[in-house]
Amino acid sequence: MTETSTMGAGRTESDRLSRDSRLRTLTRRPEIGSFLVMLVVVLAIGFASDGTAFNPLGLKNNLSVIAQFGIIATGACLLMIAGEFDLSIGSMIGFAGMSMAMMMKWGLPFGLGAATPASAFFLTLLTTVAIGGVIGLIVVRSRLSSFIVTLAFLFFLRGITEVCFRVINRSTQISGLPDFKQSSWFAAAFGGESFRWLYDVWFVIGGNMNRAGDQWVTGLDARVVWWVAISAMAYLLLSQSQAGNWIFATGDNRESARANGVPVDKVRVALFMFTAFCATVFAACQVFDTNTADAAKGSLKELEAIAIAVVGGTLMSGGFGSVIGVAFGAVTFGLVANAVFFIPAIDGSYYRVFVGMMLLTAVFLNESVRKRITGGI
């Protein structure tokens, strides 16, 4: 009897320690804070909007904004884990959008003929990734702060975009482009719709129906697929590959990583090129969706991308972060940014107040998580 009681007590103690261990591990996850904030925001906006924020049209509009945030924040996250910043993301968006729109309106450079959506995109991508590589090389070779170098490119790219628009197009805007997504599968892959089957099922079971009895919404924006694809690729890169270990090692201790054979400089340059890729995808989704371009596009997006990465659990000092946390942060920021359309009583300026409060809170929270993981180092 005594032996049985002792064994039972032992199992109880073991179960308790196991639960405590799981709870401690969960609280050390970099994305736990962003998940809890997201949960609160989802419930609050769902209640305040009386559910309209998550009806068929509300879900489509919200996911469109969330996906845009998620695409650029994922690139910023990986770069920040490696200990670098890119303040040129927003200007790169404007530059990439201008490049694609100009080619589709005026033709390929050097008199190579008319541009298709695919040729305009790939030539633009080649240019922007090359610029990202140049930024990375300047940071690596000069040993200057990436903050200063990319700040310089923020002004340079924005300025060159406006100059080119005025010289070639006589305006800083291009509108009235043909709706290429109606005739080109490539344009539709960026500016068309996705997950149509989801809304077809929603229509069949009820709820996705207008007053005439027809299907209300036919699908999500294609940029949602790009967000999911880029996030999945980044997650697998960080968690399942040697390159992911290199990224974390580079941000944690650059010299130690170099001494252990990590190609630190190549990692940093490659990540600047990746943020340029994310900015180009963002711009392509805008151009092919709206059939317009504007030199002012992407303004302040670099700061929002960094803020979302920080709220998602990425440390400003590098070496620590989570793509899953960035996804949670993108959902939070997207819902709050779009809340003014579902809750008329909310002033749009409160979005900036929210960003400021969340950013400051996240910095303290992330530092607390880092100390728990490293034992206070």
Asked which of 10-14, 248-252, 357-361 is least confident by mean pLDDT, the reply is 10-14
pLDDT digits (tens, 9 = 90+) for 142-163: 999 999 999 999 999 999 999 8
Alpha-carbon gap, residue 143 to 139, rounded angstroms: 5
Residues 6 or more apart in contact with residue 53 via CB below 8 angstroms: 45, 46, 59, 62, 335, 338, 339, 342, 343
Domain boundaries defined on the chain:
32-374
Alpha-carbon gap, residue 168 to 36, rounded angstroms: 49
Q: Which residues, listed in sequence order, are joined to residue 293 by a DSSP beta bridge?
A: 174
Q: Mean pLDDT over residues 182-187, rounded?
A: 92
* DSSP for residue 168: I
The average confidence (pLDDT) of the chain is: 86
Please give the structure tokens belonging to residue 192.
Answer: 């068309």
Helix (H, G, I), strand (E, B) or coil at 366: helix
Q: How much is the pLDDT for 315?
A: 85
Q: Are 268 and 80 in contact (CB under 8 A)?
A: no
Residue at token pair 């054979």: 261
Helix (H, G, I), strand (E, B) or coil at 209: strand
Q: Are 156 and 95 in contact (CB under 8 A)?
A: no
Confidence of residue 2 (pLDDT cuts 50, 70, 90): very low
Alpha-carbon gap, residue 232 to 93, rounded angstroms: 22
Q: How much is the pLDDT for 3?
A: 41
Asked which of 85-94, 193-202, 254-263, 347-356 is least confident by mean pLDDT, the reply is 347-356
The CATH fold of domain 32-374? ABC transporter involved in vitamin B12 uptake, BtuC (1.10.3470)
